[in-house]
Chain A
Amino acid sequence: SQKIEQNSEALNIQEGKTATLTCNYTNYSPAYLQWYRQDPGRGPVFLLLIRENEKEKRKERLKVTFDTTLKQSLFHITASQPADSATYLCALPARKLIFGQGTELSVKP
């Protein structure tokens, strides 16, 4: 069955550094992949979508890569800020919309 895996361990980084989060998938060949942000007690909010023919996509301080050979997406936040602290989820959309378990990011001042 389709499986999505994200780093289950929380990621703690210093303000100003680059955070890199990983999303791996198996038994699936998605045409595209999405990344969401979730704050405590709230529903996820869409951040970025990357298509299989796009190797990289940027939005302000966010950068996403998509390697269909490795079956992996990397999510980068450059010049991180404490306000970036949240849980970040990747999702594989098809008829179903399946999420990874999310990686909690904590940015310390």
Chain B
Amino acid sequence: NAGVTQTPKFRILKIGQSMTLQCTQDMNHNYMYWYRQDPGMGLKLIYYSVGAGITDKGEVPNGYNVSRSTTEDFPLRLELAAPSQTSVYFCASSATSGQLNTEAFFGQGTRLTVV
């Protein structure tokens, strides 16, 4: 059971380039999330999804886009990379239990540097 898988693990982008961070989960979870974590800081929610075809903004969505065409996949798109987007990106998923989210499972992270 792979859990949550993110690719790539590391990436260096030039300013203005675009890229897609991939995230897939094999636990049939409805909820998926993208976070960024700057050095010494907490997790900031970028976007989240409560099911296939449904996405919504989190705390820091500017400069990013997402899609959720299947339950398993939740890619994060950076269109015009900026140095401020240098960060570690985490994808996570969780199931639902009635009205409650259960524990979230995280991927291993993608370390992105924009130069």
Contacts and interface: CB of A to CB of B under 8 A. Distances in A.
B75 to A, nearest CB: 17
Chain B contact patch, size range: 20 to 34
Interface in A61-105: 89, 91, 93-102
Q: Interface on chain B toward A: helix, strand, loop, or mixed SS?
A: strand
Given A96-B48, A98-B59, A99-B42, A43 B108 contact: yes
Contact of A89 (B43, B99, B107): B43
A97 B106 contact: no
A93 B100 contact: yes
B106 A93 contact: no
B41 interface: yes
Contacts of B108: 42-43
Interface of B: 4, 31, 33, 35, 41-43, 45, 48, 50, 56, 58-59, 90, 92, 94, 99-109
22 contacts: A36-B104, A41-B109, A43-B92, A43-B109, A44-B43, A44-B90, A45-B106, A46-B103, A46-B105, A49-B102, A89-B42, A89-B43, A93-B100, A93-B104, A94-B101, A96-B56, A96-B58, A97-B33, A99-B42, A100-B42, A101-B41, A102-B42
